């Protein structure tokens, strides 16, 4: 029986949104000589490349960006699913408009760009903005622990979009992980 070792990205192979260390990369390449290796991440393919290198599909046997909605095997694209085919454009636009309006009405010490990142299988919504620095991410995390900003946001989304086939969840168990409520469907 063949063995496949799958590794999560942020918080396992790398610090959140950071490049893989030479030591970890070397370890994985040595392990790959003995077994098949795969990497799984919630981010899109381009962000996996930023973290693992442009040759990511050559360096690993399997690559699963966007939580597996996009799949590569032996350097070739296997499949790709998307949220718009599942939900339809009207629901997606209603959701994006609602999120942007909600974020516009939150008062935070700082806001940065990319509040909504559209991926194949989900929308990643970040009240502070995905382009915040690591220090700003930690600052937001500490504020959110006290004020429950994301928890209230997700509760509102669940109420507003009940019955639409959406799942809402909160990322970031600690400051080194993602900052965003994650909206998933499928």
pLDDT tens per residue, range 74-99: 999 999 988 888 889 999 999 999 99
Residue 1 has pLDDT above 90, yes or no: no
- What per-residue confidence (pLDDT) applies to 174? 54
Residue 138 has pLDDT above 80, yes or no: yes
Q: Are 35 and 5 in contact (CB under 8 A)?
A: yes
Q: Among 108, 104, 96, which Cα is nearest to 142's?
A: 108
Give the pLDDT confidence of 16-50 residue by residue, as tens digits.
Answer: 778 999 999 999 999 999 999 999 998 889 999 99
- Name every residue whose Cβ is closer than 8 Å to that of residue 132 and which is 6 or more positions away in sequence: 110, 112, 126, 140, 179
State yes or no: is 44 an active-site residue.
no
Topology classification of domain 84-179? 3.30.1240
Would you list which residues are annotated within the binding site for Mg(2+)? 8, 10
- What per-residue confidence (pLDDT) applies to 172? 60
Q: pTM value?
A: 0.66
Domain boundaries, the chain: 4-80, 84-179
Mean pLDDT, all residues of the chain: 88
The residue from 10, 44, 61, 144 that is catalytic is 10
Separation between Cα atoms, residue 164 and residue 101, nearest integer Å: 19
Backbone φ and ψ for 37, nearest 5 degrees, come out as -125, 140
Give SS3 for 182: strand
Residue 181 has pLDDT above 70, yes or no: no
- What per-residue confidence (pLDDT) applies to 8? 92
- What per-residue confidence (pLDDT) applies to 38? 97
State yes or no: is 156 an active-site residue.
no
Q: Residue 86 burial by CB count (10 A; 0-12/13-18/19+): exposed, middle or buried?
A: middle
DSSP 138: H
Would you list which residues are annotated within the binding site? 8, 10, 17, 119, 130, 137
Would you list which residues are annotated within the binding site for alpha-D-mannose 1-phosphate? 17, 119, 130, 137
CATH class for the region spanning 4-80: alpha beta
Separation between Cα atoms, residue 67 and residue 39, nearest integer Å: 10
């Amino acid at each position: 029986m063949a063995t496949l070792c799958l590794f999560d990205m942020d918080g396992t192979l790398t610090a959140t949104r950071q490049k893989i260390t030479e030591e970890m990369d070397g370890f994985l390449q040595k392990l790959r000589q003995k077994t098949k290796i795969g990497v799984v991440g919630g981010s899109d393919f381009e962000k996996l490349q930023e973290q693992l290198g442009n040759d990511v599909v050559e360096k690993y046997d399997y690559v699963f960006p966007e939580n597996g909605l996009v799949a590569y095997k032996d350097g070739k694209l296997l499949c790709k699913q998307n949220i718009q085919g599942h939900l339809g454009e009207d629901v997606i636009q209603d959701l994006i408009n609602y999120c942007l309006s909600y974020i516009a009405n939150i008062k935070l010490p700082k806001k940065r760009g990319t509040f909504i990142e559209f991926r194949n299988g989900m929308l990643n919504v970040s009240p502070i903005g995905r382009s915040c620095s690591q220090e700003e991410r930690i600052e937001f995390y500490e504020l959110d622990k006290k004020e429950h900003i994301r928890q209230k946001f997700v509760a509102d989304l669940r109420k507003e979009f009940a019955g639409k086939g959406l799942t809402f969840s909160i990322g970031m168990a600690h400051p080194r992980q993602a900052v965003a409520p994650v909206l998933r469907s499928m």
